[in-house]
A and B are shown apart, each in its own frame.
Chain A
Amino acid sequence: MTTISIDHVSRWFGNVVAVNDITMTIGPGVTGLLGPNGAGKSTLISMMAGFLAPSTGTVTLDSKPTWRNEDIYKELGLVPEREGMYDFLTGREFVVANAELHGLGKKAAQKALATVEMEYAQDRKISTYSKGMRQRVKMASALVHEPSVLLLDEPFNGMDPRQRMQLMDLLRAMGDEGRTVLFSSHILEEVEQLASHIEVIVAGRHAASGDFRRIRRLMTDRPHRYLVRSSDDRALAAALIADPSTAGIEVDLKEGALRVQAVDFGRFTGLLPRVAREHGIRLLTVSPSDESLESVFSYLVAA
């Protein structure tokens, strides 16, 4: 049982704050680190993996600091996001080299290759591998010493659905064995399928923490904004504002459209077509105006 503790950690690069006063504890089981691109996920993982010093605060693995401490790698496996991985070697040579650096031999390497189901292509050069195959060989290299902590930076990027399922099963099994597995992703669906526990970071800040139901609720319960065009904007506005699911409506004359703010997402999506039909109004455009992941996440920060 190994626990990663992040205590009031900040990290800045020049004037840019990548990670801003984050405190979290990551224990056994599968944890998903969720956040939009550029939120600081990789920076945080680099600090957990001992590749980056926190500007302030401490990152420890069972109370041992991870920075400048090669001994942590006996317990920690890392699957980096970057692709560079000795392309001139075959998959088997690469994993064997990784095993040797841990003081292990060919047997451990072969076992890891079997775990990720890459034996069939192990004698091909890595340069000929697809992205999913590279990802699996990277996994094997991180698993050779059967670490109690596994850190994965965007592991599902570029994988096809079948490979994704396979990797999810593998990570789930490792979590069930009591290992501490942490992976980062910017896709909510990916995280909620796999992680029992989710940490959300947005713009370097720790935005939310909990199980996926709580995070999902936070995300769907936020106010939604829509841009609506119809055959009679004012009549539609009058009818919509009467319902409690609508918090505000602006008649945007320049755009020739309504800007609607809905507070009850489920109810509003039922209400809008019904009201339109009842009043004989034709809906021309209904488009969510803040569905970008960034705005969803930034709502979480405020919550």
Chain B
Amino acid sequence: MYDPTVARLTYRALLGRRRALILLALPLLLVVIAAAVRGFNGADDQVAADLLGGFALATMVPIIGVIAGTGAIGPEIDDGSVMYLLSKPVKRPTIIVTKLTVAIAVTMVFSAVPTLVAGLILNGNSQQIAVAYTIAALVSSIAYAAIFLLLGTVTRHAVVFGLVYALVWEALFGSLVSGARTLSVQQWSLAVAHKATDAGDLVTSDVGLPAAVVLLLVVTAGTTWYAGRRLRTLTVAGDE
């Protein structure tokens, strides 16, 4: 279910110079803000939780997920180079699972690592806040990568739709409308983080742990399965 050649091609496409710069921009911004807040304000657990929850988890992780998830397959479908993968005796689900693995790894590295670093800068992991949000970032990386990988196989405008979903649904509705929170990757990952650490009231979720875990698994497996199906019936017509 994992093809090293497909993985290599995907890593190189994702971490090409321009895309790598975009992937680095938000994490750098997060770390700079964290350093500034700590510098001006000193260590404060509530501020740390607000910044990690409001910016890192609600905004940065989904955006990194959009770039890595859609970027792992969208451009190849767009310019037709995916034909070189598809015209090989390689099972289509293998291609998808490999690309998903790469997208998850890239999302985790570019979102969970800076979250941990920013958390350590903000309050030195007091009350396990840094670790809790890092766990949430790791967990949500998996679901985001899967969702946006599917989006990359469905539409040419995957990045736009992905950003709208990430910013409007996860960041805006997820914070304002309580019903929307039940269907938010962010909340599911917070439920896991809440359970895994002793962060207590500073890391809470509107969704119970069992529901969160089930939803995470269903969404990840479902989107991956459907992406494999999409790829299997992907019609790559010529320019005519």
Contact = CB atoms under 8 A, between A and B. Distances in A.
A85 B88 contact: no
B8 A46 contact: no
B76 A84 contact: yes
Nearest to B92: A70
Contact of A88 (B12, B83, B233): B12
A46 B237 CA distance: 6
Contacts of A86: 9, 12-13, 81, 84
Interface in B1-51: 3-6, 8-9, 12-13, 16
- Taking residues whose C-beta sits less than 8 angstroms from the other chain, chain B's interface range is 20 to 34
Given A68-B233, A101-B85, A88 B90 contact: no
Given A70-B92, A76-B87, A80-B83, A97 B239 contact: no
B16 A88 contact: yes
A49 B87 contact: yes
B87 A73 contact: yes
Given A43-B240, A45-B238, A101-B3, A78 B8 contact: no
A81 interface: yes
B79 A84 contact: yes
Given A51-B235, A52-B237, A73-B88, A80 B80 contact: yes
Interface string A70-99: 110110111011111110110000000110
A130 interface: no
A85 B238 contact: no
Contacts of A103: 89
Contacts of A27: none
B81 A46 contact: no
Nearest to A85: B81
A82 B235 contact: no
B80 A82 contact: yes
B237 to A, nearest CB: 6
B238 to A, nearest CB: 3
A43 B76 CA distance: 20
Nearest to B5: A100
Interface in B99-119: none
A208 B91 CA distance: 38
Interface stretch (A34-42, A213-221, A261-269, A275-283): A34-42
B232 interface: yes
A78 B89 CA distance: 13
Contact of A153 (B88, B91, B238): B238
Interface string A97-119: 11011110000000000000000
Contacts of B79: 82-84
B154 interface: no
A61 interface: no
A71 B180 CA distance: 45
Given A37-B240, A51-B236, A82 B83 contact: yes
Nearest to A98: B84
B83 to A, nearest CB: 5
A50 B87 CA distance: 8
B202 interface: no
Contacts of A76: 87
Contacts of A80: 80, 83, 236, 238
B131 to A, nearest CB: 37
A46 B87 CA distance: 11
Interface in B204-240: 232-240
A38 to B, nearest CB: 6
13 contacts: A40-B240, A42-B239, A50-B87, A51-B86, A51-B87, A68-B232, A71-B89, A88-B12, A88-B16, A89-B9, A89-B12, A101-B84, A141-B84
Interface of A: 13, 18, 37-38, 40-43, 45-46, 49-53, 68, 70-71, 73-74, 76-78, 80-86, 88-89, 97-98, 100-103, 141, 153
Given A51-B235, A85-B84, 6 more contacts: A42-B240, A43-B238, A70-B92, A73-B89, A86-B12, A101-B88
Q: Which 6 A-B pairs have the closest CB atoms?
A: A42-B238, A84-B79, A82-B80, A84-B81, A101-B88, A84-B80
